[in-house]
Chain A
Amino acid sequence: MQQIAKQTGQLVAIIGPGVLWIIVFLVLPSLYLISIAFLSNDPYGLPQLPLSLHAFRELAGFGLLGWSPGNLYTLGRSLWQATFATILVILISYPIAYYIATRPVHLRPLMLVLIVVPSWTNQVIRAVGWMNLFSPGTPLANLSAMLGFTEPQMGLFPSQFAVVVGMVYNFLPFMVLPLYAAFERLDHAQVEAARDLFATPMRAFVHAVLPQTLPGLLAGTVLVAVPAFGMFVVPELLGGGRSSMIGNLVARQFADGANWPLGAAGALLMILATLLGLYILRRAARRLSSEREMLL
């Protein structure tokens, strides 16, 4: 009996703090958030009884003036922009990670630091940096006007293009680092074997490089896609009104356009969408590499 009590005590001592942390900072706030989502809002936007599904109806677009698709557009735009930004980040990160992993050993830490350093700066400042680069009259804006992509005298921002650029720039390190780790352990003999066995460079990549770097790719995808979906600083600053994402919608409900239940419902929707996305990714990963250890 005493033995069991002692073991239980040890177990509590070991995992107790972690469990407490998760309860206080994850479980309780989540429960609070969920309960708010099912409340009504008072004239100042704060939650009050009675329970209702009003927030979800509102989220789906039903308002005082009848139904409007605005919120669904916002959700769709968030999904689309997060996906598009993630794909772009992957396409840009592969060559960068490969390049760094094939440099002399003493140069690699420096190059990795150069990739990571920008993310030590505040997101807002980086977004403002892009605003300056994309403003009307800057070389980039003029070039774009000259090529006919934008109207003369217009800047490259606010636009969805600017949002995507800002997000790609923001999330690049989170893809480059796990991919670099995968490339560093790459068995080049497999790539050479594929080339030797009549694989074109492209097919050698698909059959010999991709399977080996898949764990890094999946880890990077989670690290990029999830926060990209919930992003609100970059769309706020670079996107203008018509490019706002679900993150902006939620943030607004807790700030100036106060409507806490609607904000909570939006946050809940984001969590569910993220979980669904992770589940799909996990399924895909399992199918792609049945025998491989997975990070998910």
Chain B
Amino acid sequence: MPQPTANGARQASSISIRSLHKAFSSKMTALDGVDLDVQPGEFFTLLGPSGCGKTTLLRIIAGLEQPDRGSISIGGRLLDGVPPHQRSVNTVFQSYALFPNRNVRDNIGFGLQMQRVKRQIIQQRVQAMAEITKVDDLLDRNPEQLSGGQKQRVALARALINEPDVLLLDEPLSALDAGLRGQLQVELQRLQRRLGMTFVFVTHDQQEAMVMSHRMAVLHEGQVQQVGTPQVIYEQPKTLFVARFMGHQNIFAIQQRNEDEIVADFGVLKGRFAAGSHILLREEALSLKAGVVEGHNRLTARVEECLYRGGSTEYRVLCGNARLTVRSHNLGQALFASGQDVTIDVAPEAVAILPG
């Protein structure tokens, strides 16, 4: 993909990670056999809770940490034992890690300075990159004079200016307040699409991951649980961990599966389903109807709680021995009251069977 910057076009690079292992001690395994392939020009997110190994993986790609076993190649070049300064990989650190003794201009130009680019060219490229990342009016300030969002932009400019094969971002938005965070998510995503550079983004926030990524990998205890597009990860999670981490509420162990029904805590759900260990009912894809109507893809329930949230209403309903959450969009229909008997329509798209 051509790059519409002043810096000329370059080919984006792929990453391939093979059976990567890393342990910090006998008790603490950070990565336990990770295999991943990132496509050229892809916005790829590593998603998981703290301690899942996502940051360690990022640091190994950057060369700041050495794997115990396994290998990484970028653009087909094997990076075993290559020190960080010889990798065409740059990182936006969680703490930004700006150099306090340099102003914004010299921070952004640092990578080019280290590559012994001519001073005049550095000045031009810093100016161009500062315009792209909207920090061109801050160039003469020192880092301590910047707000969190401004520091984030400078850190981004400092990494991007080197036109790395791969840009790594370690929870770059986690220190910002919600409003600014949402705005920068969109900006960062646009910038990546525009530059066509390969981004590897680390976050523990599944909303953020879904908004920004082409594809994402969910990590848990040093292992990749699932890789896929945000839609696949959210709608068809493969493991219990992924389903829970993506925020799903209605997950039940399948007690018995017959030819055209499933038995779980919520009772009997008639319909044809794949085999698996758990059933997931997506709360926003379920719909409620007044009264009790038995039939295929239906469950009967009683409303226990009704939480009105403006755009949607969240119902907690008792269904068999289970509590379910149903989120219905407020399109003008009447609300259901607590204690009311209802029927839940379980559309086939609302159901996911977890194989694992």
A residues apposed to B, CB below 8 Å: 187, 189-190, 192-201, 203-204, 207-208, 211, 289, 291-292
A32 to B180, CA, bound (A): 68
A197 and B95 contact, CB distance less than 8 A: no
Interface of A is mostly: helix
B166 to chain A, nearest CB (A): 12
Contact among A195, A207, A211, A289 for B84, CB-based, below 8 A: A195
B residues apposed to A, CB below 8 Å: 62-64, 83-86, 89-91, 93, 95, 97-101, 110-111, 114-115, 142, 144, 158-159, 162
Can you name 22 A-B pairs with beta carbons within 8 Å?
A: A187-B95, A190-B97, A190-B98, A190-B99, A190-B100, A192-B64, A193-B93, A193-B97, A195-B63, A195-B64, A195-B84, A196-B90, A196-B159, A197-B85, A197-B158, A197-B159, A198-B85, A198-B111, A199-B114, A204-B85, A291-B142, A291-B144
Closest residue on chain B to residue A290 by CB atoms: B101
Q: Which residues of A contact B144 (CB under 8 A)?
A: 291
Q: Which residues of A contact B89 (CB under 8 A)?
A: 196
A194 to B98, CA, bound (A): 9
Contact among A192, A200, A203 for B93, CB-based, below 8 A: A192
B97 and A192 contact, CB distance less than 8 A: yes
A198 and B101 contact, CB distance less than 8 A: no
A211 and B91 contact, CB distance less than 8 A: no
**Given A197-B162, A199-B114, A291-B101, 11 new contacts (CB under 8 A):** A189-B97, A192-B91, A192-B93, A192-B97, A194-B110, A196-B84, A197-B90, A199-B85, A203-B114, A211-B101, A292-B101
A204 to B83, CA, bound (A): 13
B172 to chain A, nearest CB (A): 13
A284 to chain B, nearest CB (A): 15
A285 to chain B, nearest CB (A): 12
> Which 8 A/B pairs are nearest by Cβ-Cβ distance?
A189-B97, A197-B111, A193-B97, A198-B114, A211-B101, A195-B84, A198-B85, A196-B91
B101 and A289 contact, CB distance less than 8 A: yes
A187 and B85 contact, CB distance less than 8 A: no
B120 to chain A, nearest CB (A): 19
B64 and A196 contact, CB distance less than 8 A: yes
